[in-house]
């Protein structure tokens, strides 16, 4: 399970778990498709896994070989960061003969529907070998089967399997072909498998190699004619190009990706490897251009978390893309525009019936909430626990609005606002106004009965993070209207008329001024996480874990061990200090970090990076580095919870991957960009001698080179204008093609 996640590959259209060629559904092979979901009976809806067009098994002397068997003498598998190429080499010994299998596979960055494989066998002695290769339609599903009526057919040398989803009858088609110039080839169908069988008398020391090409298409693809024809045409075109040409085109696209997003660390090989792995994971799952898809909480590593999109995307992944790959960031935001109607439906039907857009906590293709009210099971009793993630995690709408506005601020491109982004922002503000309570006696608005990022304490009042996000949404809504009034008055009039919202704008301004945000205590500097938090019982994470009856039990919900205590799941106030980093002093950040850190269980992969970035800002670089590594290595080392309660949670962690990049560039690199300029205030950790990275800003590209005592900003020759950059408090002008170096003294 864990190795399949570590070695996965993806291209935004689909993900292929890092399993081996001969593996089947029993070994959790999964080709997970982006943006297509299905439900069977009362079980959770989840993304659809496609039939495995990469299947190949080998028999030696009539014995089928598997890396899980007892005939393995040597095994190695590799994931190449440069081009997301997965390779394996396995040697098997049987009756005096050693057979070595080598394979390499990639999911094309040039043609998203396409997978390409190179497969070789070598025998130490002459032997009878049988190779079965084709499409395995026996699919691993958590809550399936999702493809019904699977039919295996063949057209000349092209194998083909097609089925329809259970819920909406969407077609999913897989075609496969291979160029095999050795042995005798026959064809067979076994159940849902469509295979070609190669019978070979292998000579000693001779390597036999073939290439295979598979393509996946669904009814979500805009194709002329049938998805079957599209899949067949794609594999035939790939075969005509050949493996090397397909690989070269794929590699060229990956070179472009790394040119824009690589981060170089000198002096720390461990950090360099972990960070590049994190960046690789983000680049692999970035949505395909024009898809308006987003990135699920477990990326494309399988059906875990229902393949749903959470707040993770806007708060932890979006910053990477907006600063390196804005074309991908815009797809993430177009997903939220596409699912706006789902957010409206949720607002109307949730709780007391709200207005505006209440975005789903677990969002799939329509934006309707896939989160259930009984979302976690007790592992000891098997009973479902009522949680309030779906109906009380209201900060999600503000997270979306903030990211939508940041796209405009950091790119200078307001076209997304006109495409629907402004509508999203206004509807999110409308939701918060309908959700807020106005306290006459206090002459202020309050956000009550919510869950903040700390999910162990539910239905709390005046959660600092949630209230801050809601207040910011009102401010952004007014700023959006003001911008459109200046630049696009006609479009603004049309939008205000469509939403019938103009009369509500004064209320948004009033709420922006008078919405209550918990403040820092005058003596201690502590910001109370929510009303009454400071009155909860003191405890420690160690004490709570010692009292656990079952290692997978959930510490929150109604009766969780953490509920009556100050122990929190993940960064909450600290997350707020990080998100709004320019609005709080270093002293406030330090006070709250030091208060909340010992009380945080870090039961979420989202937590460590927030603590790392805030620690870097007030100068605790050793702790910042510790939490940076925890974030960056979570998938590389596969050290994470597999179960929470009775719910399977395995899979990759793209939010943590984004958090690793944020910690390196925004934390240690000290980068902060707004609508006016880029500021850099470096805080390199002890081991790092140099930090280099690219930064996209307002349509231009910059190369940053940071050492312990200097910062060099190189503005690309292709840039369109002179930019003002603030380096360690010193303003400099950066002209295209003219690097600027500023010496500084790093604060300690």
Q: Which residues are catalytic?
A: 455
CB 45 within 8 A of CB 92: no
Rg of the chain, C-alpha, whole Å = 27
Q: Cα(665)–Cα(680) distance, rounded to whole angstroms?
A: 10
For the CA atoms of 345, 348, 354, 358, the dihedral, rounded to the nearest 10 degrees, stands at: -20
Q: Cα(193)–Cα(187) distance, rounded to whole angstroms?
A: 11
Structure tokens at 73: 């003498």
Q: Cα(602)–Cα(311) distance, rounded to whole angstroms?
A: 17
Q: Cα(502)–Cα(516) distance, rounded to whole angstroms?
A: 24
CB 119 within 8 A of CB 209: yes
Structure tokens at 489: 């008055």
Partners of 165 in the β-ladder: 147
CB 410 within 8 A of CB 375: no
Structure tokens at 267: 């002096």
Q: Cα(391)–Cα(360) distance, rounded to whole angstroms?
A: 9
Q: Cα(739)–Cα(748) distance, rounded to whole angstroms?
A: 27
Taking the alpha carbons of 673, 674, 679, 685 in that order, is the dihedral positive or negative?
Answer: negative
Q: Cα(384)–Cα(12) distance, rounded to whole angstroms?
A: 34
Pick from 655, 662, 665, 747: nearest CA to 706:
665
Rounded alpha-carbon distances, angstroms, from residue 19 to 1, 146, 634? 9, 21, 19
What phi, psi does 383 have (nearest 5°)? -80, 145
Q: What is the number of residues in the chain?
A: 748
Q: Cα(367)–Cα(385) distance, rounded to whole angstroms?
A: 24
DSSP string, 497-542: HHHT-GGGHHHHHHHHHHB--PPBPTTT-PBPSSTTGGGSBP--HH
CA within 13 Å, CB half, 135:
31
What beta strand segments (E) does 614-664 contain? Answer: 643-644, 647-648
Q: Residue 717: helix, strand or coil by DSSP?
A: coil
């Amino acid at each position: 399970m864990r190795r399949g996640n570590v070695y996965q590959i993806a291209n935004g259209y689909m993900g292929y778990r890092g399993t081996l060629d001969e593996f089947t559904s029993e070994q959790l092979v999964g080709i997970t498709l982006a943006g297509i979901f299905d439900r069977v009976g009362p079980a959770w809806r989840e993304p659809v896994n496609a039939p495995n067009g990469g299947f190949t098994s080998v028999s030696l002397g009539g014995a089928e070989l598997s890396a899980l068997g007892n005939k393995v003498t040597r095994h190695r598998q590799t994931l190449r960061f440069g081009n997301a190429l997965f390779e394996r080499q396995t040697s098997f010994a049987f009756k005096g003969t050693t057979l070595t299998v080598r394979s390499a596979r990639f999911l094309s960055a040039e043609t998203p529907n396409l997978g390409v494989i190179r497969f070789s066998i070598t025998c130490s002695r002459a032997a009878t070998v049988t190779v079965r290769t084709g499409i395995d339609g026996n699919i691993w599903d958590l809550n399936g089967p999702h493809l019904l009526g699977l039919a295996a057919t063949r057209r000349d040398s092209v194998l083909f399997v097609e089925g329809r989803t259970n819920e909406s009858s969407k077609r999913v088609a897989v075609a496969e072909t291979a160029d095999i110039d050795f042995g005798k080839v026959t064809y067979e169908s076994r159940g849902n498998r469509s295979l070609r069988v190669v019978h070979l008398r292998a000579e000693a020391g001779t390597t036999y190699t073939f290439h295979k090409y598979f393509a996946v298409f669904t009814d979500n693809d805009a194709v002329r004619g049938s998805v079957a024809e599209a899949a067949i045409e794609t594999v035939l075109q790939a075969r005509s190009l050949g493996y090397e040409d397909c690989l070269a085109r794929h590699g060229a696209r990956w070179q472009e990706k790394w040119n824009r997003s690589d981060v170089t660390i000198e002096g720390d090989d461990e950090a360099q490897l972990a960070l590049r792995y994190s960046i690789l994971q983000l680049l692999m799952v970035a949505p395909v251009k024009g898809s308006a898809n987003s990135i699920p909480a477990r990326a494309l590593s399988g059906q875990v978390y229902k393949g749903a999109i959470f707040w993770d995307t806007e708060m932890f992944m979006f910053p990477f893309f907006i600063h390196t790959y804005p074309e991908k960031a815009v797809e993430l935001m177009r997903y939220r525009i596409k699912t706006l109607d789902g957010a409206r439906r949720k607002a109307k039907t949730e709780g007391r019936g709200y207005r505006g857009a209440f975005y789903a906590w677990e969002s799939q293709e329509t934006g309707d909430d896939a989160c259930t009210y009984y979302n976690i099971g007790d592992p000891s009793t098997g009973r479902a626990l009522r949680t309030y993630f779906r109906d009380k995690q209201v900060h999600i709408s503000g997270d979306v609005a903030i990211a939508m506005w940041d796209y405009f601020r950091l790119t200078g491109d307001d076209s997304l606002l006109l495409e629907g982004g402004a509508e999203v922002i206004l509807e999110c503000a409308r939701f918060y106004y309908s959700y807020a309570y106005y306290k006459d006696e206090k002459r202020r608005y309050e956000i009550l009965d919510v869950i903040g990022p700390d999910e162990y304490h539910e239905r709390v009042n005046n959660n600092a993070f949630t209230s801050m996000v809601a207040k910011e949404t009102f401010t952004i809504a007014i700023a959006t209207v003001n911008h459109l009034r200046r630049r696009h008055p006609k479009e603004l009039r049309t939008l205000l008329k469509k939403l019938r919202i103009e009369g509500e704008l004064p209320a948004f301004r009033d709420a922006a001024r008078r919405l209550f945000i918990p403040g820092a205590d005058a003596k201690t500097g502590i910001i109370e996480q929510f009303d009454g938090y400071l009155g909860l019982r003191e405890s420690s994470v160690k004490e709570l874990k010692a009292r656990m009856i079952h290692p997978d039990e959930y510490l929150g919900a109604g009766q969780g061990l953490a509920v009556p205590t100050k122990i929190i799941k993940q960064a909450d106030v600290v997350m707020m200090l990080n998100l709004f980093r320019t609005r709080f002093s270093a002293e406030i950040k330090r006070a709250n970090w030091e208060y909340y850190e010992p009380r945080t269980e870090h039961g979420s992969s989202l937590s460590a990076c927030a603590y790392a970035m805030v620690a870097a800002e007030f100068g605790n670089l050793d702790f910042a580095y510790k939490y940076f590594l925890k974030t960056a290595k979570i998938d590389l080392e596969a050290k994470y919870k597999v179960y929470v309660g009775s719910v399977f949670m395995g899979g990759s962690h793209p939010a943590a991957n984004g958090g690793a990049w944020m910690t390196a560039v925004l934390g240690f690199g000290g980068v902060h960009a707004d609508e006016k300029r880029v500021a850099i205030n470096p805080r390199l950790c002890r081991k790092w001698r140099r930090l280099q990275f690219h930064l996209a800003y307002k349509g231009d590209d910059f190369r940053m080179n940071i050492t312990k005592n200097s910062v060099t900003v190189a503005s690309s020759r292709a840039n369109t204008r002179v930019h003002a950059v603030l380096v360690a408090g010193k303003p400099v002008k950066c002209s295209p093609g003219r690097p600027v170096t500023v010496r500084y003294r790093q604060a300690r």
